[in-house]
Structure formats: structure tokens, C-alpha cells
Amino acid sequence: IDKNTDSLNFLNQNQDNNDNKIKPDITTFTTLIDAFSKSGDILNAEKYFDKIEQNQVHPERIAYSAVLKACAKSGDTLKAVNWFHKMQFARITPEIQQFNHVIQAHTEAANAEGAHVWLNKMKSFKLTPGLISFNQVLNSYSQSKQPSKAVEIFEKLEKNNLVPDSITYGSVINAFSQV
């Protein structure tokens, strides 16, 4: 966080309308938001997202995704869903990565059913969940000690012609070992 604070101080000291001052663009703001998201700092991620619009820069999918990642890391499902909807309201079509962040938020919050719901929502966007999406839901059911649900997700994964990896098998095994 100290490095993020140093970066912010530098930006704030040099941000001005003068030609010899820094004029932040979408890349600048997205880099800051991403730095905060890596530590799960939703407040600062949101703060710098708001500055995108204050500087009359149009936020892109990657900026929304960075805020969603902060929500995911902290397990804040309400904020994750809210940011997902804000992205849609901005007419930005969500992709698998943004769904994965919402699924991860539910997993971090120990809400396996919520994670499963968001996995299923991908279909309404004509998206095909990938191995990461399935593994997150599998992990969620594993952590919540629901081996039958973990097996159900495993079977769906195989029906989607995805090849299980060590994370997949580890989650299923872990689900049964915790019963």
C-alpha cells in the first residue's frame, strides 16, 4: 500500500492543467485502480474510478474489471454485483473475466450458491464459462463442504468439453475430505 500511496502523492502533486504537468489518462487511472485492486482496497479503487469521470475520460472495460477485482479479493459481493451492473449501464458488455470477478467475490464470501448463480448467468450473455470459472465454483462448493455440488459442477465442466486440471481435481478431493 505504501507504494500505491507514493504513486498517488506523485500524481496529485503533478496533476494540473499546465503543459508541464501530468495529465492523467485512462491508462494512468486504470493502473492506479489495478494497484489498489491487487490489495483488495475497494475504497481507493472506487475513488480513482470516480476521478476517471471527473477528468472527462470515458471508463473502459478494464477499469471496471479492476474495481471488480478489488471487490472479489475482499469478498464484497454487493459491491461486485453493483459494479457489474454499473458497467452494463455504461453500455460495456461484460466478458468472462468480469463474471469471474463476481464469482470470486461470492467464493471469498463463502457463498457457493451465489457463485453458481453467476456461473449460470454467463449463458444469458452467450458466454461459455471456461475452466477458471468452473474451478472457482468448484472451490466454493469445496470450501462449503458440499461434495455433491462439487461433483455436479465437475460433471458440467466435462460436458462443456473442458479438461480438468490439478486445481479441479484438488477442489473435488478437498470437498470430500472435509465431510
Compute CA distances 78 → 105, 146, 161, 162, whole Å.
9, 23, 32, 30
- Mean predicted lDDT score pLDDT of the chain: 88
- Residue 138 has φ and ψ, to the nearest 5°, of -55, -45
Mean pLDDT calculated for residue range 124-129: 95
User: Which pLDDT score is estimated for 107?
Assistant: 96
Over residues 17-55, the pLDDT tens digits come to 455 566 778 888 888 889 998 888 899 999 988 888 788
- Residue 24 has φ and ψ, to the nearest 5°, of -65, 145
What percentage of the chain carries pLDDT values higher than 70?
87
Looking up cell 472495460, which residue turns up?
Answer: 61
Q: Is the pLDDT of residue 7 over 70?
A: no
Mean pLDDT calculated for residue range 158-174: 95
Cell numbers linked to 19: 503543459
Cα–Cα distance, 4 to 83 (Å, whole number): 22
